[in-house]
Structure 1
């Protein structure tokens, strides 16, 4: 055991002394040129950007402005279909819709990924409730960050909005008859 410890210490010391070789400084005429970004690829584009749309009653789509919580929530019409689009493909992402008490909404989701970006559809079993606030969150599935197709980290996105109309009041609780104990 003593020999094992001694050999480990000698190896560690050798690595520290040897270190890593210094990188060579590039010369002006190295004969290597950087490839130009191809106009057909997304190499020249900036980080991924997002749009959020919802389905209107007349089968059209309407965009929801991307604003922060402090700027107020945009109003939308009641809908049961939302679409998120990104300008670049994403890796390690998840998209969730939360109600005003931060509960994840039940939905049937479908994602279509392509080199040109992501199309993520959220289909809700019932339309969003009038007057209620919701937040769409795009964040990392695992770990601390998601990345785009270029390997760049993409910051988490929170898109708050509110459904137009008066807030629906919950139905009153039904009265239960108390049984007398005999």
Structure 2
């Protein structure tokens, strides 16, 4: 009997409870950053789109897919696209609902903090009409950010609030009498 008691005592005392892994086991606490992550640099480029209000303020246009519906904006003649990183091999175009490129006077300001691309239209966007801002590669198949990472093409749909204007009927020609 003493052998059984000794064996049981040894089994209980000899097996320590499992403990949490040591700090050098590769596990980091939530929210802490490793040296490799700190050296990796900024994350991928992200975009924001704004339009100029009649009172000269700026209003954001939500970035949603076409399947999620088009956000409504007020009539405007100026759009501003911003990215968190500078872009290479890119082009920005505004299309109307017939997929025709809109005539505009564009300017781009690049800095280490990103890109500011301003689209100035000769006339305000038409009430009730749908538009899509497209950011894609100028040449080849992809554009890249300043870190050399590929940036996927983007389509940003939106619609101008208000009723769609009815087109003017063509003027009637007067018939000449002979």
- TM bucket normalised to smaller: 0.7 to 0.9
Higher Cα Rg, which structure: 2
Question: For 1:36 and 1:148, how far apart are their aligned partners in 2?
Answer: 19
Q: Where do 5+ consecutive residues of structure 2 fail to align?
A: 1-34
1:36/1:70 Cα in 2 relative to 1: closer, same or farther (>3 Å)? closer
* Alignment pair present for 1:46 and 2:43: yes
The secondary structure found in structure 2 opposite 1:112 is: strand
> Which residue pairs with 1:74 in the alignment?
71
* Alignment pair present for 1:163 and 2:136: no
Following TM superposition, by how much is the alpha carbon of 1:34 offset from its aligned partner in structure 2, in angstroms?
7.4
What CA deviation, in whole Å up to 9, does each residue of 1:111-146 have, x standing for no partner?
000111000000000000000000000000000000
1:179/1:142 Cα in 2 relative to 1: closer, same or farther (>3 Å)? farther
2:129 is matched with which residue: 132, 136, 139? 132
1:106 is matched with which residue: 103, 126, 137? 103
Question: For 2:94 and 2:126, how far apart are their aligned partners in 1?
Answer: 13
User: Alignment RMSD, CA only?
Assistant: 1.9
Q: Where do 5+ consecutive residues of structure 1 fail to align?
A: 1-32, 38-42
* Alignment pair present for 1:121 and 2:118: yes
Number of aligned residue pairs = 144
> Which residue pairs with 2:24 in the alignment?
none
User: What's the TM-score once normalised by structure 1's chain length?
Assistant: 0.75
